[in-house]
Structure 1
Amino acid sequence: MPISAENSVPIIFVRDVNKTYAGGFQALKKINLEIKRGEIFALLGPNGAGKTTLISIICGIVKASSGTIIAGGHDIVRDYRAARASIGLVPQELYTDSFESVWATIKFSRGLFGKAPNATYLEKVLRDLSLWDKRDAKIMTLSGGMKRRVLIAKALAHEPTILFLDEPSAGVDVELRHDMWRMVRELREQGTTIILTTHYIEEAEDMADRIGVISQGELIVVEDKDVLMRKLGKKQLMLTLRQPMTSIPAELSVWPLALSDDGHTLVYSFDSQKEETGIAELLRTLGEHNIEFKDLRSSESSLEDIFVSLVHQPKEALE
């Protein structure tokens, strides 16, 4: 999503944030991050990388060991109430007051942040999440998927300008995932900034404007999704040969080629950002040496491929 000049000031500003727990475990190491107003930002990383810790610190649930965070124009330590009022959080855990009704829970959440009653808005939130028919039901009687919907409704009840979704798709059905992502797109169109963590990397690929990857407490890359996929993506051209090879001929050694175990497929790999004129040159060279193929197909890296390669690269390779 293009960010207009008037929205160029980051809505979240994280500078030199560290977190060390009792016992000496350093969960976050000098995190620096700016999140633009009105964007969808996906924070990716393996289990234990520090995603939830960072979100919890920005939301004021966990205290940073050092560093500065501004959310919605407010310092999260010096002006905690104003900063927290601008934030909605959908946590991983399914915790809420089991004995309350759905309606009472979201009404209370809105009042907790000092918002005036607005039954029309709360009704819209519940209808958007297919919860309106369950508004009088006790939360303890709901399924896990319905409880997840209630958590989303609670997070939206006070009309936050920043919404954190921490693994929102974990353990939910396909219908809820579709409802949730439709609502996320609508919220972004209305100017809400969305920060999500997810194990469903295809969701980040589909939804996000920018991607951040965190590994072992360090933010190793932050980049526009499309730029990241152009920079780090790989493309492959696979040629099915008419006659199998036992090895790649010497005359083709200048090309980054690999041969399948059965000798029937020749694979040419190249960077997405490089010009693809090399394909024409390769095919011409094959013809000159009477190497015939009967089929060809191409593929390119997904965001998941890029993510896996990033978290397994040594740090110095990323610098």
Structure 2
Amino acid sequence: MPDYGHDLLFGAGIDSYSHQSSTVVRLAELADQTGVDLAAISDHPYHPAFLDTWTLLSYLAGRTTQIRLAASVHPIPLRQPAILARSAASLDILSGGRFELGLGAGAIWDGIEAMGGPRRSPGEAVDALEEAIEVIRGIWDVDTSGGVHVDGNHYQVRGARPGPRPSHNIGIWTGAYKPRMLRLTGRMADGWWPSLPALEEHGPITLAEGNATIDEAAIHAGRSPQDVRRLLNLGELLPVEQIAELALQDGISVFTVDARDPRAIHQLAKEISPAVKELVAKERAGR
């Protein structure tokens, strides 16, 4: 697949176990200080061992100065989209434009239902996410007159006043694996954010196949494939050459890795990130 030409970013995926709260904060601060581009926090509201992701993201925004912040990813069945839109815009303003919005259709249905959320079929989950994105973009569009109106099967918004306006154009990055979700990503999202260990589990689907589906949907919707940034959760760190190959052949421009200790963050920031960026820049210049 083509290189979509985006600048390369590297992110630290940080576990948010409540019994290690001080470690969670220290790792995020270290990632910020060493030049890591993104701190990614998983969002599992049904899991009692984790800190609440929105509370943690807000706290980290006040303890950092440069690093971008995102959840990987918010399960939309437990995050009401109109409120989510205002929360995202507010955190983006307070952090100086450092927030991105990761969204998922939902997966752990027993946990979602136990927390009072709806249990949805795969088709319903995709439809609901599409409606949610429409609501979120409507809330962010402060130039809309007459309020936000979405009359969906899962979400109904009837004249909500838009605002606040985010500090920057927040990217909506979807965790997608199946064809309908991939097509939705191509039509409406700003980024595709799968996990490398999960790609085989969910299909199997390759990055090339996912990219092709997204590209086709984007073009059909009147967009450019370059409008959709490609992200990838690697899990564990891979060799520099392999990461560079993912950037050049599969168009990945944001790489997140599990960062459970300071050594992993230092390695990501001081060794892996600059080496991959140098290799990719050299290859791009040669082209």
Q: TM-score normalized by structure 1?
A: 0.36
* Larger-Rg structure: 1
Structure having the higher helix fraction is: 2
Between the two structures, name the one with larger relative contact order (CA 8 Å, sep ≥ 6).
Answer: 2
Structure having the higher strand fraction is: 1
Q: TM-score normalized by structure 2?
A: 0.39
